[in-house]
Amino acid sequence: MAIEVGDIITISYVERCDGIVTATNIEQVAKDNDMYDEDTDFTPLIISVGRGSLTQGLHDELVGKEVGAKGTVLVPAEKAYGERNRDKIQSVEKKLFEKGTTVGSYVRHPRHGTGLIVNKIGQKYVVDFNGIYAGRDIEYEYEIHESITDPAEQFTKTLNHLLGGTDTEYDATFEDGKGTIMLQVPLGTVDSWNKTKGVLIWELFGRLSSLEKLQFCEDFENFFNFKPSSVMESFDDDDDGVDFDSDTDSDAFLDSYLNSDSDSDSDSDSDLDSDSKSI
């Protein structure tokens, strides 16, 4: 039976940019390209065709294929990680960064996400918040392994995928359109869990047409006698960035930067999670 939008399937894939492997869930490919991590799950990836994991161009390629199909597709930038966008290049006050931050450093911004510092103008850093592979065509090699049609299995496997990168321990059940997630939440992780829960709600309802109701059964336990903090640091909205249109030097830099070869960025393929610094 041909795969349709909304079907839950599992695939193996290799993602390449300019011939360089940038992501994969195939263990041997990871080892051959110095990307292997023993903590990584190299089982087939579960996806909802049409949304979620990987790029839209790959999802479009999978529609109409059969289980067992293999193929290679070159996805244009607009259906991969998007075109490069001038509005995603911002200037941010230098004082907001940690000491040791320099041009070439990756940083995290509470609104714009992860960005690369590409220049320094006066007391401000110019930060490119475009994705690393924005503006680049992406090649995928893929194999479709399975189509999951049982609603309970769809729920548990999708949940396992979404929580696979966390330390959250939970039990889950699914019956008559209702999914239930039961877990203990240490007080020290309440904030992070609430964010994770918000993502789960949107992702599960967005991926699973059989899911009609979602229930969380949470036990909160103060394992280490944590005390709530009375002081919360927040980012100053006044330092959210400036309009480059008012700065001739910045405007000229942006034009030359956006028109430059993105491959000139020597750090563009580095690991963001390990090198980025928070603002």
Per-residue model confidence (pLDDT) at position 273 = 46
Contact 137, 80 (CB under 8 A): yes
Tens-digit pLDDT profile for residues 80-135:
999 999 989 989 888 888 787 889 888 888 788 888 999 999 889 999 999 889 99
Strand boundaries in the chain, DSSP class E: 8-17, 20-24, 45-48, 70-75, 89-93, 106-109, 113-121, 124-128, 138-148, 170-175, 178-186, 213-221, 277-278
pLDDT band at 169 (very low <50, low <70, confident <90, very high): confident
pLDDT band at 269 (very low <50, low <70, confident <90, very high): very low
Distance, CA of 6 to CA of 15 (rounded, Å)? 22
Strand partners, 278: 108
Tens-digit pLDDT profile for residues 203-221:
999 999 999 999 999 998 8
Fill in the amino acid letter for 242: V
- Residue 268: pLDDT over 50: no
Tens-digit pLDDT profile for residues 15-30:
999 999 999 999 999 9
pLDDT band at 266 (very low <50, low <70, confident <90, very high): very low
Side-chain-side CA neighbours of residue 178 (13 Å): 6
- Identify which has the larger pLDDT, 242 or 90: 90
* Residue whose token pair is 């992406």: 138
Per-residue model confidence (pLDDT) at position 258 = 72
pLDDT band at 240 (very low <50, low <70, confident <90, very high): low
